[in-house]
Amino acid sequence: MKNGKATIHDIAEKLQVTASTVSRALNNNPRISDATKKKVLKAARELNYQPNNIASALRSGRSKLIGVVVPTANRNFFSSVIRGIEEIANSVNYKVVISQSYDDYEKEMQTIEALLNVQVDGIIASIGKTTENVDHFKKIIKKGIPLVLFDRVTNELDVSQVVIDDYYGAFQATEHLINEGCKRIVHFSNSQNINIYKERKRGYEDALLKHGISVDPELIRFSKLQLEDGRASMQEVIDAKIPFDAVFSASDYSIMGAMQVLKENGYKLPQDVKLVGFGDEPFTSFTEPTLTTVNQKSIPMGNITAETFFEILNQKDQTNIISKKTILKPELIIRNSSLNQQK
Amino acid sequence: MKNGKATIHDIAEKLQVTASTVSRALNNNPRISDATKKKVLKAARELNYQPNNIASALRSGRSKLIGVVVPTANRNFFSSVIRGIEEIANSVNYKVVISQSYDDYEKEMQTIEALLNVQVDGIIASIGKTTENVDHFKKIIKKGIPLVLFDRVTNELDVSQVVIDDYYGAFQATEHLINEGCKRIVHFSNSQNINIYKERKRGYEDALLKHGISVDPELIRFSKLQLEDGRASMQEVIDAKIPFDAVFSASDYSIMGAMQVLKENGYKLPQDVKLVGFGDEPFTSFTEPTLTTVNQKSIPMGNITAETFFEILNQKDQTNIISKKTILKPELIIRNSSLNQQK
DNA sequence: ACAATTTGAGCAATCGATTGCATATTATAA
DNA sequence: TTATAATATGCAATCGATTGCTCAAATTGT
């Protein structure tokens, strides 16, 4: 019992039983009498025993750790999904190891390597923006380790995934703007290699077409969708004197940039230009006017992702794992930035 | 080699050497010839060998995992500190397990228990707001496991800690408002059991006194400092018809609430009321007017915290560990909400 | 009262990597 | 040429918990 760290052997010695008995008692094995169990539990408490998960993991082959890879935890959406995952994981005594890829391909590979090294029982991930090659994910699958993707997924991998209906969200958002009388709606998008942005753009376009408005490529601006990108894109449109009466951005950050630039250029919001973002970041309710945006159902998404994960983990022996895709409906949160009639 | 997972034994067998040799070769032990090392590395690659950290951790007693406990990763400050910690940790091949306490005492205890279970080599933590008893931290120390606290610390524990000079930050902020001509400065604070809020309040008070302004208890409002709390506090002050010309809040969230309520009540910002927050959350540059706030130097704080941690970890055999307190100077970020002359 | 069950607990191998100590081989020194 | 040192590798125990198998004691049945 060096270092003040008691093991089952210390308990065993104290009680003059074997470590096997202690182990079984602690795991509430029916082969051990209640009397012995009580004694063991008592001794464990007295010795301040802390189970060594590592030893347990080595023997049982289960670390009870889930690796979660997100681009950044510093985003309301991702941290909420993580929270949703944790809720489920903790309820079955699993712990979550959060890894940030910082949207960097190299870092994403390293982080997955590191997670496999620490022997996580499986990985839940949202793919980084710069990731175009998914071999590192294939490696996970090849090792037979459960993998579930959420939000930023890919079709190149035959794995279970949980996404929101980006198409639907964008369609709703765009249709809402049309219903408020907008006809020249600017759209901020990101690389079309990233599924979510592709889908959002498709939703935007289909909503326009449904209402007999043709898609004008001049109105669609591609960028990384950061605040600065939103500023730049908006300024470009203004400078090019392209007429417009609304902006629907695939990100709340870039719509903020647009809002700033519009104000700086003397536009009145929402009278002159109506705005809708995507993501429902907390700051969207702080802005002036408050921002209409699309809520991505992050906590439920986390819950469902974790549940899907455990389904796979528990049926893992069976060879035929069916990968399923769960699609959640996002919700349009209507605030003042898109309304003629302020509420 | 079941499950496609190769071990050092598989490599050993393939090369007709022993596992010891393979282990040493992989660890670049000088007792192994370069020729053998090369062969081992090659075979490892061919077999798609992935080191089993768990086995290694069990034997060596080092998991190469650091547990980081934060109230919530969904805060710019905390996620940036985490990033700062990760930078250092990853550079020495350590991995970070992030745990959120959600500012809940129970959850904080559980999470620490879980971290100890997974055998982290040490813990870095920021104490939750509702935590008043620190026995769970004492337990960490008693086990001889390195512990470093940052930001939300306590004096009850003799451990190394890294904090910003909250007093200084608050003093600067308040003095800045005074220099802009304010004399009746409202202060939003939180429980005085939490050191950072106590210090910020002290800084506020001392700045007032330095400039011959007496501290008016009516102007100091205590709450949880969320957006809603800021709204409520501000409304209270307005309703009570207490004269004021500025608000300095210990949190960016509550100052946002104040900003909303002030606008709703027809105050002109910053002409009628000047505002300063604390935290430099990203949204502070999105608001109208943009918010003056105090930047907490989160990335450097993370770096220093991690460095301090590794110092302790590496001198751990020596019994006399000196706990040191590092204090970083925060920076006042002056934006429009506090200026007579807009920039 | 004796065989057949049931119950409770011990033995020993195992998970994969590490490491102190021994050993075999080769190189260097005397 | 033989003793000595240096080099390269093997042997076997170990980290702490788990688990299939064995065995002894207690209980039940006839």
Region of residue B99 (left: phi > 0; alpha: psi -120 to 50; beta: else)? beta
Is the pLDDT assigned to residue A136 strictly greater than 80?
A: yes
Alpha helices in A180-297 (DSSP H): 195-210, 227-239, 252-264
Indicate yes or no: strand D within 7 A of the C-beta of A186: no
- Residue pairs spanning A and B at CB distance below 8 A: 125
What is the per-residue pLDDT across A291-303, written as a single tens digit (0 to 9) for each?
A: 999 999 999 999 9
**Neighbour order of strands in the sheet with B185-189:** B220-222, B185-189, B246-249, B274-276
- C1' of D25 to CA of A315 (Å): 40
B117 closest CB neighbour out of A53, A73, A110: A53
Measured CA to CA, the distance from residue B213 to residue A44 in angstroms comes to: 60
Residue B60 CA, nucleotide D15 C1', distance (Å): 7
Residue with CA nearest to D17's C1' atom: A56
The owner of tokens 């009540």 is B265
What distance in Å separates the CA atoms of residue B94 and residue A184, rounded to the nearest whole number?
52
Looking at the complex, does the CB of residue A95 fall below 8 Å from at least one CB of chain B?
Answer: yes
Q: Which nucleotide C1' is nearest B24 CA?
A: C18
Nucleotides of C under 7 A from a protein CB: 7-12, 14-20
- Closest chain A residue by Cα to residue B256: A286
> Which residue's entry shows tokens 């590979």?
A109
Predicted TM-score (pTM) of the model is 0.86
A2 C-beta less than 7 Å away from strand C? no
Asked if strand C comes closer than 7 Å to B19 Cβ, the answer is yes
Query: Would you state the pLDDT for residue B320?
Result: 63
Give the residue among B132, B209, B172, B196 at the shortest CA–CA distance from B293. B172
A4 pLDDT band, cuts 50/70/90, is low
Report the 10 Å Cβ neighbour count for B222: 16
Cβ(A179)–Cβ(A210) below 8 Å? no
| pLDDT confidence of residue B328 | 97
Residues B124, B129, B131, CA angle at the centre, nearest 5°?
75
Residues 120-159 of A with CB under 8 A from B: 139, 142-144
At residue A135, the pLDDT reads 93
Residues whose CB is less than 8 angstroms from the CB of residue A265 and which lie 6 or more positions away in sequence, other chains included: A238
Of residues A204 and A283, more confidently modeled: A204
Lowest-confidence pick of A16-25, A165-174, A197-206, B178-187: A16-25
The residues near B170 (Cβ < 8 Å, ≥ 6 apart) are B199, B200, B201, B202, B203, B204, B207, B248, B250, B278, B294
DSSP state of B269: T
- Cβ pair A143:B52 closer than 8 A: no
Nucleotide nearest A25, from its CA to each C1': C9
| Strand B65-70 to A274-276 pairing | unpaired
* Contact call for A256 and B287, based on CB within 8 A: no
A321, A312 contact by CB (below 8 A): yes
- What is chain A's percent helix, strand, coil content, to nearest 5? 45, 15, 40
Per DSSP, chain B holds a count of helices (H) and strands (E) of 12, 12
CA-nearest residue to A102 within chain B is B83
Interface mutation target, options B47, B286, B299, chain A, most CBs of A under 10 Å: B286
Residue A3 pLDDT: 55
Of A18-27, A279-288, B204-213, B252-261, minimum mean pLDDT range: A279-288
State the residue for tokens 């000088």: B30
Are the Cβ atoms of B283 and A288 closer than 8 angstroms?
no
> pLDDT tens, A248-275?
999 999 999 999 999 999 999 999 999 9
**CA A63 to CA A107: how far, in whole Å?**
23
Residues contacting residue B84 through CB under 8 Å, at least 6 positions apart: B298, B299, B300, B301, B302, B303, B304, B305, B306
- pLDDT greater at residue A2 or residue A334: A334
Label residues A149-160 b or e (16+ Cβ within 10 Å = b).
bbbbbbeebebb
Closest CA to B62 of B317, B320, B321: B317
What is the rounded CA–CA span in Å between residue B153 and residue B124?
11
Put simply, the answer to whether A74 touches B76 (Cβ < 8 Å) is yes
Residue among B5, B80, B142 minimizing CB distance to A4: B142
Q: What is the Cα B114 distance to its own chain's centre?
A: 20
Q: How far apart are CA B236 and CA B120, in angstroms?
A: 47
Q: Select from B301, B329, B330 the least CA-distant residue to B124.
A: B301
Residue B3: its pLDDT value, please?
56
pLDDT at A277 (0 to 100)? 98
**Parallel, antiparallel, or unpaired for β B331-333 and B293-295?**
antiparallel
**Pairwise CA distance, residues B251 & B278, whole Å:** 5
Residues 244-273 of chain B with CB under 8 A from chain A are 256, 259-260, 263
B76 vs A280, residue with greater confidence: A280
Which nucleotide has the least CA–C1' distance to A54? D16
Interacting residues of A55 by C-beta distance below 8 A, sequence separation 6+: B58
- Digits of tens for pLDDT over chain B (343 positions)? 545 678 999 999 999 999 999 999 999 999 899 999 999 999 999 999 999 999 999 998 888 899 999 998 888 899 899 999 999 998 888 988 888 999 999 999 999 998 998 899 999 999 998 888 999 999 898 888 899 999 999 989 999 999 999 999 999 999 999 999 999 999 999 999 888 999 999 999 999 999 999 999 999 999 999 999 999 999 999 999 999 999 999 999 999 999 999 999 999 999 999 999 999 998 898 888 999 999 999 999 999 999 999 999 887 555 567 889 999 999 999 999 999 987 7
pLDDT-wise least confident of A3-12, A14-23, A93-102: A3-12
pLDDT at B323: 87
* A7 Cβ nearer than 7 Å to chain D strand: yes
Indicate whether A85 pLDDT > 80: yes
User: What's the residue count for chain A?
Assistant: 343
Question: Among A298, A264, A303, which Cα is nearest to A278's?
Answer: A298
Helix (H, G, I), strand (E, B) or coil at B324: coil
pLDDT band for position A320 (50/70/90)? low
Side chain identity at B205, as an amino acid letter? E
Spatial contact of B167 and B196, defined as CB atoms under 8 Å apart: no
Asked if B52's CB is within 8 angstroms of A54's CB, the reply is: no
pLDDT at residue B322, rounded to an integer: 80
- Give the closest-approach CA distance of B212 to chain A in angstroms: 35
Q: Which protein residue lies nearest to nucleotide D10, measured between its Cα and the C1' atom?
A: B18
The reply to whether A48 Cβ lies less than 7 angstroms from strand D is no
Average pLDDT over residues A104-124: 92
Smallest CA–CA distance from B62 into chain A, residue = A54
User: Can you state the percent helix, strand and coil of chain B, rounding each to 5?
Assistant: 45, 15, 40
- Structure tokens that stand for A172 in this block: 């709703």
Confidence of residue A7 (pLDDT cuts 50, 70, 90): very high
Taking the CB of residue B112, how many other CB atoms lie within 10 A of it? 22
Positive/negative CA dihedral, A249, A250, A252, A258: negative
How far is it, in rounded angstroms, from Cα A295 to Cα B332?
Answer: 34
Going by the DSSP 8-state scheme, the letter that residue A283 receives in this structure is: G
For the CA of A12 and the C1' of C2, the distance in angstroms is: 36
